[in-house]
Structure 1
């Protein structure tokens, strides 16, 4: 039996929360340095030097483990807890209006770059300032986990995603059997349905359900970038070619591009 989107998100969340501990250890090791971190760890382990050394040996560079963790966590926050997305990003990205790096303006991105500022020989901000920021990001991911367990969680979008996956699977099967026009028509319906849901997610009014109108509405609201807008335009043109009888039939390659493009849209635009 194929894994559902709900099960996939739960599995991904469990992995992210398990990985978060390693990311925190990596940041602490980077922030406090080997001697201080080792001393604290040794106390926690009751003086077991062998275990402490083995533990430190497995710590990976913070910028590496964090970027992987952040890249995995960001889409989940965007999909499941969109009202906390701006907070999640703000904890990582350097403020565009920042004029000076202080403890208050320091961000996780600075820690990834190893930034450290001093004034008069005194440290103003270094990677230690990123420790509470990472803790807040992890708390947001934990909130997603709790939302899964809450009866208030609305699984409509996840169920819809399962339906879309199934329909696209049917489109791919039709394409394998050379029913290009029918396969393209199904992919177009999936694209239109997803764009409607994205508009609902952002409380955007929809004058009609056409791909072009939905696409323009999302671009006007800055939900999607120009490159994404153009890609959806391209997919909409292919869909129209499949949905209307023209002199030129849609090719297998064109419908394959349409299906692959729709798969990308439903996985990256929320």
Structure 2
């Protein structure tokens, strides 16, 4: 059974939240040291072997957090853009910061194990980052709640399932030897998805061509230069399929087009 897009997105969010919980545990371990170890030991009723196994299984905070942040950041940007600035602010240290204080401490500082002192006393350390990480996790949880809410617009998800079906049709045409027709179908899917992405970000569409839509998304910083160039390549192959040229599109070119469109509809929103 093919999993629906809604179920896939929900599963991805659940996985991300589990990784966030692991990052939180790792931060507690780094911030509290012996206190954390004693708490784990109590949980295992004094069994040092089991406690040590659990403690040693916890990955270093900077490693697990950076992986989690790199996965969560584009998700927030795509699905909850009004909280993106808050999400980044909780991680990045202020560029104008002159000293490390409780108000200016960030998760980035905790990743480097930094502390702030005043008068020879430690006034701020990685413990401060615990609340910051909890706020980031709460933002990701808010995205999950959107999927569970009856107010969430599922139009895009239904459309994504339709696009998957149309790409399956394109693959069938290609397998039967109709490369030009397969590329044309894949091009329609790409164009339709880019139009939806422009609507998601309230971007005006002067025309519905792939090139214009691609430029609009790049100009609004919805996509970066690598994605823009990739879509340009896909558009070129699509044009080769849609217009009579000296040379016909090859099966390899159309395969790249179908696979590229499949990636675009699953990564750009």
Which position in structure 2 is the counterpart of 1:12? 12
The alignment of Structure 1 onto Structure 2 pairs a total of residues equal to: 268
Q: Provide the residue aligned with 1:144 in structure 2.
A: 143
**Does the CA contact (< 8 Å) of 1:9 and 1:76 recur in 2?**
no
Tell whether the 8 Å contact from 2:44 to 2:51 is kept in structure 1 after alignment.
Answer: no
* CA gap 1:15/1:110 in 2 versus in 1, 3 angstroms: same
3-state secondary structure, aligned to 1:105: coil
Distance 1:86 1:180, change over 3 A: farther
The SS at the match of 1:39 is: helix
Counterpart of 1:161 in structure 2 is 160
Alpha-carbon displacement from aligned partner over 1:75-122 (angstroms, at most 9, x marks no partner)? 433343332233223322344444544332332233223333434433
1:103 aligns to what SS in structure 2? coil
After TM superposition, the score normalised by the length of structure 1 is 0.88
Q: Which moved more, 1:235-244 or 1:163-172?
A: 163-172
Aligned residue in 1 for 2:21:
21
Aligned to 2:88: 89
In structure 2, what is the equivalent of residue 135 of structure 1? Answer: 134
> How is 1:42-53 mapped onto 2 (pairs within 5 angstroms)?
42=41, 45=43, 47-50=45-48, 51-53=50-52
In angstroms, what is the RMSD of aligned CA positions? 2.3
Q: Deviations over 1:12-34 (max 9, x none)?
A: 2223333332221111111122x
Range 97-106 or range 193-202, more displaced: 97-106
Gaps of 5+ in 2: none
Q: 1:165 to 1:108 in 2, by over 3 A?
A: farther
Once the 2 structures are TM-superposed, how far is the Cα of residue 266 of structure 1 from its aligned partner? Answer: 2.1
Matching residue of 1:111: 110
Task: Check the 8 A contact 1:192/1:210 in 2, yes or no.
Answer: yes
- Hey, what's the Cα distance between the residues in 1 that align with 2:212 and 2:167? 22
Deviates more, 1:139-148 or 1:189-198: 139-148
State the 4+ residue runs in structure 1 displaced beyond 6 angstroms.
Answer: none
- Structure 1, gaps ≥5 residues long: none
Q: CA deviation at 1:4?
A: 0.4
- The structure-2 alpha-carbon separation of the partners of 1:66 and 1:186, relative to structure 1 and needing over 3 Å to count, comes to same
Q: Deviations over 1:120-167 (max 9, x none)?
A: 433354322211111011111221222222111111111111112222
Q: TM-score, normalised by structure 2?
A: 0.89
Cα gap change, 1:218/1:42 in structure 2, threshold over 3 Å: closer, same or farther?
same
